[in-house]
């Protein structure tokens, strides 16, 4: 059995992202989305999620390049001391330096993750799963407190952020530096799986499309999906309509988000032309056994 979760990150960041999530789900090309609880278009995303109960909605825990949900004075080590207002470190590099130097308190990570999950639950959404912005939970010092926060709020699944070798080989056009990064980071996969199991959460065999972020067009998507083996896999995507709100964010993904949107519609929509893709059962994290 081949099962595929098709998850859009950054739900709630902009109206253009929200529109893309809604239209893709209605077209059958998206099964899941992870919602950013401190994002500008959060309220609109919540309304969309409530109007589409078949869409699995997770919590996209933000610890980098964003603003906190927990009271700032309770998570001080997560905050950028150079920022004039309470906000996280603006880049993954600065966050990781602080993390690896022991400057970030794991209790503060757990408190902030729990606050973001709780904000969704207060709005009537029980998250199907959690993942993290920039995949910070692949690092043990982030993973363990995030798992504890998930346990405390009855969240039963988490993204496996590691991309398998076969998917990396099937991904064209990715820069060699990013390819090397994906390869090196895979060394943490075994520890991740042990930790998730010990905390009683579910996950998938791995994530697809991580290496293709920024280059995921229809040919690349077909190349990856044509090689999906047995098991349960997550396709990670970042679709959006390019609007003024997206242009003002710090994301490196602008025009490529619209390319991903069109690729998903061309390959995975219910009315997409027949092709040679294998039969894939489409699910969200709430369906994991």
Got the DSSP string for 55-103? SEEEEEE--SSS--SS-GGGSGGGB-TT-SSS-B-SSHHHHHHHHHTT-
pLDDT digits (tens, 9 = 90+) for 238-253: 999 988 888 887 776 7
Please tell me the predicted confidence (pLDDT) of residue 59.
98
Q: What is the CA radius of gyration of the chain?
A: 18
- Tell me how far apart the alpha carbons of residues 105 and 275 are, in angstroms, rounded to a whole number: 50
Q: Are 208 and 160 in contact (CB under 8 A)?
A: no
In the chain, what are the helix, strand and coil shares in percent, each to the nearest 5? Answer: 45, 15, 40
Please tell me the predicted confidence (pLDDT) of residue 260.
95
pLDDT digits (tens, 9 = 90+) for 101-136: 999 999 999 999 999 999 999 999 999 999 999 999
Report DSSP state, residue 156.
-
Comparing C-alpha atoms, which of 8, 10, 3 is closest to residue 252?
A: 10
> Measured in whole angstroms, how far is the alpha carbon of residue 209 from the centre of its chain?
11
Please tell me the predicted confidence (pLDDT) of residue 180.
86
- Tell me how far apart the alpha carbons of residues 162 and 188 are, in angstroms, rounded to a whole number: 8
Please tell me the predicted confidence (pLDDT) of residue 277.
65
Please tell me the predicted confidence (pLDDT) of residue 51.
97
2-287 maps to which CATH number?
A: 3.20.20.370
Q: Are 109 and 63 in contact (CB under 8 A)?
A: yes
Please tell me the predicted confidence (pLDDT) of residue 196.
98
Please tell me the predicted confidence (pLDDT) of residue 271.
81
Q: Which residues of the chain have pLDDT under 50?
A: none
Question: Rounded to two decimals, what is the model's pTM?
Answer: 0.94
Q: Are 80 and 88 in contact (CB under 8 A)?
A: yes
Please tell me the predicted confidence (pLDDT) of residue 278.
65
Angle among Cα 215, 237, 152 to the nearest 5 degrees reads 145
Please tell me the predicted confidence (pLDDT) of residue 124.
96
- Tell me how far apart the alpha carbons of residues 143 and 109 are, in angstroms, rounded to a whole number: 9
């Amino acid at each position: 059995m081949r099962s595929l979760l098709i998850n859009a990150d950054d739900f709630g960041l902009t109206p253009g992202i929200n529109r893309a999530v809604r239209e893709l789900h209605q077209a059958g090309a998206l099964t899941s989305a992870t919602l950013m609880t401190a994002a500008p278009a959060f309220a609109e995303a919540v309304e969309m999620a409530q109007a589409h109960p078949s869409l699995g909605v997770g919590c996209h825990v933000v610890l980098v390049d964003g603003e906190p949900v927990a009271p700032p004075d309770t998570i001080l080590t997560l905050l950028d001391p150079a920022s004039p207002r309470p906000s996280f470190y603006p880049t993954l590099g600065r966050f990781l330096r602080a993390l690896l130097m022991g400057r970030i308190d794991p209790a503060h990570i757990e408190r902030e993750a729990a606050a973001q999950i709780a904000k969704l639950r207060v709005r009537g959404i029980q998250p199907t799963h959690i993942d993290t912005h920039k995949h910070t939970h692949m690092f043990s010092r982030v993973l363990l407190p995030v798992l504890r926060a998930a346990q405390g709020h009855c969240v039963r699944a988490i993204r496996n952020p590691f991309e398998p070798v076969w998917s990396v080989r099937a991904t064209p056009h990715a820069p060699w530096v990013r390819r090397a990064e994906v390869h090196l980071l895979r060394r943490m996969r075994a520890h991740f799986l042990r930790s998730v199991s010990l905390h009683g959460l579910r996950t998938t065999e791995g994530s697809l499309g991580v290496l293709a972020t920024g280059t995921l067009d229809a040919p690349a998507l077909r190349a990856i999906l044509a090689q999906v083996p047995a098991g349960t896999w997550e396709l990670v995507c970042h679709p959006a309509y390019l609007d003024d709100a997206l242009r003002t964010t710090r994301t490196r993904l602008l025009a490529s988000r619209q390319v991903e949107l069109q690729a998903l519609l061309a390959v995975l929509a219910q009315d997409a032309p027949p092709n040679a893709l294998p039969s894939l059962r489409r699910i969200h994290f709430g369906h994991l056994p």
